[in-house]
């Protein structure tokens, strides 16, 4: 009597995803409904076009970078596991998780992993450094055509200057973290709270 | 031979019953109370089913919150406020967090795409098609479900199909006959009678229970009736209670035959496909129609496409540029008895009608709202939004500024550019550029 959608996700799979991402049973089934509703081709994977069909995401200046984060290197399709793994970065950090065992693998939604995620949005060539060019490109995405090249360049220079500590005119992950943590509560800003 | 004769007898009895118990009373506008009894039984059964489902739930289920309220917490503070207050208006690496989170919120749940698929039900209504999150519960429930299937497919479907056939045939024949008469008040009167009668038969064909509210605000001649759009049967729901001049594109097939027949009796406005593209032509024709106060009110659905009846999307301003008095109407279906929404990307019209005819019933509320006229200082877009708010408010629907056309088309780039513009304004306004020239005094 179940519909096609819910019978495709078996209990064992739900358990595995629960362990890997920390989402609850009901959250996983809800997100699975969401996944299948986005999957217009009904082949169990999402393509970039499927994401682009979400109007609120398509108008987001960083929409393309965000969509890119779901797709592993060189691939054009993401399955449900991959979808959940990326979404897991935005799961809020629960209090009982803060002092979990240090021996286990770091949960996907730890503060460090959230920061890594944001860092990767800037680091276009994945060389673990944000260069001036990369920063300029991301800035250009965010401001569109409304700011001139010179002005944008100045903004980029200032930003790098402020954060750069070892003088190599590029921002490493450590410098990024130091800069960001001074101003912002990462757990709160990079989390999406589920209502139930 | 005997079999044929027996079948013939059964067929005759069937037709007699249908005609006597349903067609004639509905033609006369009289109710025999059969549908009321059916609805009462249906409501009782569904209530029983709901209680059973709640009792038998193995794990204590959290109370199911309708998806209209959202499954995630959304923070609606505008971009400027959030970024400026919390991150500082000069560019920071952390600004990206805002866009990132907004993006992920949209991926998990967005306001728009959910409107193009059927509303989720709070409790199962014993139809297989809505059984998404409900699993096997108990034997009794399954038995009731099986009975339901038998009743719906073996009894209700043929009944409804015959009624629909009778309704459509009488519409075509009736309007063709009336169309032969010379123009005049007799013709208009007869045309109204034919349209109303056939509409009533068709509503019975869907087991429709419609509650009309505020009938004193019913659209008058020379006006424009505007309503939210959920399904092709919206038109039938409205013509059940009054006569309208329909507006639409000329189709082929059965629909085309109906269109050609009805336009002879009553001045419906049918456009060729090529004419529809010419907005001026469309506006001109509609304006001429409205100017003639003796003509029936036009019926328009300004959303342009079917939405799933949980919200009202952008009204296209074309209908509001014609002038004249607008009579807004809000239509809200009760999804518990049958889902009226036509998901045209998923189902074609035939499978849609089949689903409609195998649902329990179509129950809806229709509210006639007081007429509205465009104010002096309003432009068409503002007027459209004002009418839309009134309809949404009355029907208990949410209002969305998004275009229903997003069902198929991509969102326009101008919206993204607007976001970029707002962000840039914020960066530049707060002197982030100005302060640089003071700082970068390299030596």
pLDDT higher than threshold 50 for residue B436: no
Q: Where along chain B do its domains lie?
A: 139-406
pLDDT higher than threshold 60 for residue B66: no
- The count of domains in chain A is 2
Percentage of residues of chain B with pLDDT beyond 90: 10
pLDDT higher than threshold 90 for residue B391: yes
Q: Which of A64-78, B53-67, B175-189, B387-401 has the lowest mean pLDDT?
A: B53-67
- Alpha helices for B86-207 (secondary structure H): 95-108, 139-150, 157-179, 185-205
> How far off is chain B from A1, nearest CA to CA, in Å?
6
> How far off is chain B from A140, nearest CA to CA, in Å?
9
DSSP symbol at B58:
S
Q: Looking at the complex, does the CB of residue A183 fall below 8 Å from at least one CB of chain B?
A: yes
pLDDT higher than threshold 50 for residue B65: no
Take residue B214 and report the two structure tokens written for it.
């505020």
The reported pLDDT for the residue numbered B440 is 42
In terms of residue numbers, what domain contains A157?
A: 107-196
> How far off is chain B from A104, nearest CA to CA, in Å?
27
CA–CA gap between residue B104 and residue A51 (Å, rounded): 11
CA–CA gap between residue A101 and residue B348 (Å, rounded): 55
Take residue B209 and report the two structure tokens written for it.
């229970």
Asked whether residue A5 is assigned to any structural domain, the reply reads no
What pLDDT, in 10s, does the model give residues B129-168? 666 555 666 777 788 888 888 888 888 888 888 888 888 8
Residues in A closer than 8 angstroms to B107, CB to CB, are 51, 54, 57, 66, 87
Confidence of residue B368 (pLDDT cuts 50, 70, 90): very high
Residues in B closer than 8 angstroms to A179, CB to CB, are 92-93
Q: Which residue has the tokens 């007429």?
A: B371
What pLDDT, in 10s, does the model give residues B223-266? 899 999 999 899 999 998 888 988 888 887 788 888 888 888 88
Domain co-membership, A79 together with A38:
yes
CA–CA gap between residue A25 and residue B12 (Å, rounded): 57
Across chain B, mean pLDDT equals 81
Percentage of residues of chain B with pLDDT beyond 70: 86
Average pLDDT over residues A21-44: 87
pLDDT higher than threshold 60 for residue A28: yes
The reported pLDDT for the residue numbered A104 is 66
Closest residue on chain A to B425 (Cα):
A146
Residues 6+ apart with CB under 8 A from B67: B109, B114, B119, B120
Per mean pLDDT, which of B54-58, B243-247, B401-405 is the most reliable? B243-247
Average pLDDT over residues B204-222: 87
Asked whether residue A102 is assigned to any structural domain, the reply reads no
The reported pLDDT for the residue numbered A2 is 35
pLDDT higher than threshold 90 for residue B332: yes
**What sign has the CA pseudo-torsion B421, B423, B429, B432?**
negative
Q: Looking at the complex, does the CB of residue A196 fall below 8 Å from at least one CB of chain B?
A: yes
What pLDDT, in 10s, does the model give residues B302-312? 888 888 888 89
* Residues recorded for chain A: 196
Q: Give the one of B107, B110, B423 whose C-beta lies nearest to A143's C-beta.
A: B423
Across chain A, mean pLDDT equals 84
- Of B329, B342, B142, B122, nearest to B239 by C-alpha is B329
Domain co-membership, A31 together with A63:
yes
* Residues recorded for chain B: 443
Q: Which of A90, A118, A145 is a domain's end point?
A: A90
What pLDDT, in 10s, does the model give residues A87-137? 998 888 876 665 555 566 778 888 888 888 888 888 888 888 888 899 899
Q: Which of A90, A115, A147 is a domain's end point?
A: A90
Q: pTM for this one? A: 0.79
Q: Looking at the complex, does the CB of residue B398 fall below 8 Å from at least one CB of chain A?
A: no
What pLDDT, in 10s, does the model give residues B281-293? 888 888 888 888 8
Q: Looking at the complex, does the CB of residue B268 fall below 8 Å from at least one CB of chain A?
A: no
> How far off is chain A from B212, nearest CA to CA, in Å?
35
Specify burial of residue B18 (Cβ count, 10 A radius: 0-12, 13-18, 19+).
Answer: middle
Mark yes or no for CB contact B416/A144 under 8 Å.
Answer: yes
pLDDT higher than threshold 70 for residue B62: no
pLDDT higher than threshold 90 for residue B280: no
Confidence of residue B88 (pLDDT cuts 50, 70, 90): low
The reported pLDDT for the residue numbered B260 is 87
DSSP symbol at A74:
T
Confidence of residue A4 (pLDDT cuts 50, 70, 90): very low
At B405 the three-state DSSP class reads: helix
Domain co-membership, A119 together with A44:
no
Asked whether residue A187 is assigned to any structural domain, the reply reads yes
The CATH number assigned to the domain holding A24 equals 1.10.238.10
Average pLDDT over residues A142-163: 88
Domain co-membership, A112 together with A193:
yes
Q: Give the one of A54, A157, A189 whose C-beta lies nearest to B101's C-beta.
A: A189
ipTM value: 0.89
Ramachandran angles phi, psi of B190, nearest 5°? -65, -40
């Amino acid at each position: 009597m179940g519909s096609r959608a819910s019978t495709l996700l078996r209990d064992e799979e739900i358990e595995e995803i629960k362990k890997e991402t920390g989402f609850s049973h009901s959250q996983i089934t809800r997100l699975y409904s969401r996944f299948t509703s986005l999957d217009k081709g009904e082949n169990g994977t999402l393509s970039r076009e499927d994401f682009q069909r979400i109007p609120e995401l398509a108008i987001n200046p960083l929409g393309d970078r965000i969509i890119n984060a779901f797709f592993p290197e060189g691939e054009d399709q993401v399955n449900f596991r991959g979808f959940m793994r990326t979404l897991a970065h935005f799961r809020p950090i629960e209090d009982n998780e803060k002092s979990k065992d240090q021996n286990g693998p770091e949960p996907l939604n730890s503060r460090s992993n959230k920061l890594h995620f944001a860092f990767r949005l800037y680091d276009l060539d994945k060389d673990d450094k944000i260069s001036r060019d990369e920063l300029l490109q991301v800035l250009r995405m965010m401001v569109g055509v409304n700011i001139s090249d010179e002005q944008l360049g100045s903004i980029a220079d200032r930003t790098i200057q402020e954060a750069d500590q070892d003088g190599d005119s590029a921002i490493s992950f450590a410098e990024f973290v130091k800069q960001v943590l001074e101003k912002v509560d990462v757990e709160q800003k990079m989390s999406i709270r589920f209502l139930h | 031979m005997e079999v044929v004769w027996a079948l013939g007898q059964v067929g005759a009895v069937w037709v007699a019953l249908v005609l006597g118990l349903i067609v004639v009373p509905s033609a006369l506008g009289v109710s025999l109370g059969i549908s009321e009894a059916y609805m009462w039984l249906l409501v009782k059964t569904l209530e029983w089913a709901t209680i059973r489902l709640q009792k038998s739930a193995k794990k204590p289920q959290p109370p199911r919150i309708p998806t209209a309220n959202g499954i995630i917490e959304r923070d609606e503070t505008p971009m400027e406020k959030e970024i400026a207050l919390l991150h500082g208006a000069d560019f920071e690496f952390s600004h990206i967090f805002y866009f990132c989170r907004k993006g992920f919120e949209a991926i998990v749940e967005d306001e728009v795409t959910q409107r193009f698929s059927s509303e989720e039900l709070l409790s199962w209504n014993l139809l297989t098609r809505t059984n998404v999150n409900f699993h096997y519960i108990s034997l009794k429930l399954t038995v009731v479900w099986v009975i339901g299937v038998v009743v719906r497919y073996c009894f209700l479907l043929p009944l409804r199909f015959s009624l629909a056939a009778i309704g459509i045939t009488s519409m075509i024949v009736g309007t063709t006959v009336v169309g032969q008469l010379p123009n005049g008040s007799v013709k208009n009167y007869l045309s109204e009678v034919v349209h109303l009668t056939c509409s009533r038969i068709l509503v019975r064909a869907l087991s429709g229970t419609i509650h009309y509210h505020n009938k004193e605000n019913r659209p008058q001649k020379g006006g424009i009736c505007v309503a939210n759009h959920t399904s092709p049967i919206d038109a039938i729901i409205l013509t059940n209670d009054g006569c309208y001049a329909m507006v639409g594109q000329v189709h082929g097939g059965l629909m085309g035959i109906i269109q050609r027949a009805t336009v002879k009796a009553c001045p419906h406005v049918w456009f060729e496909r090529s004419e529809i593209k010419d907005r001026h032509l469309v506006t001109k024709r509609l304006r001429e129609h409205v100017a003639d106060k003796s003509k029936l009110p036009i019926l328009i659905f300004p959303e342009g496409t079917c939405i799933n009846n949980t919200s009202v999307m952008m009204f296209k301003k074309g209908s509001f540029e014609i002038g004249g008095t607008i009579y807004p109407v809000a239509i809200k279906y009760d999804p518990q008895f049958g889902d009226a929404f036509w998901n045209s990307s998923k189902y074609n019209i035939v499978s849609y009608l089949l689903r409609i005819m195998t649902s329990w019933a179509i129950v809806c509320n229709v509210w006639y709202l007081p007429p509205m006229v465009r104010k002096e200082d309003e432009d068409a877009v503002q007027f459209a939004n004002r009418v839309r708010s009134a309809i949404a408010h009355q029907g208990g629907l949410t209002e969305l500024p998004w275009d229903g056309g997003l069902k198929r088309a991509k969102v326009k780039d101008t919206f993204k550019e607007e976001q970029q513009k707002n962000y840039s304004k914020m960066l530049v306004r707060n002197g982030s550029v100005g302060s640089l020239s003071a700082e970068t005094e390299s030596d």
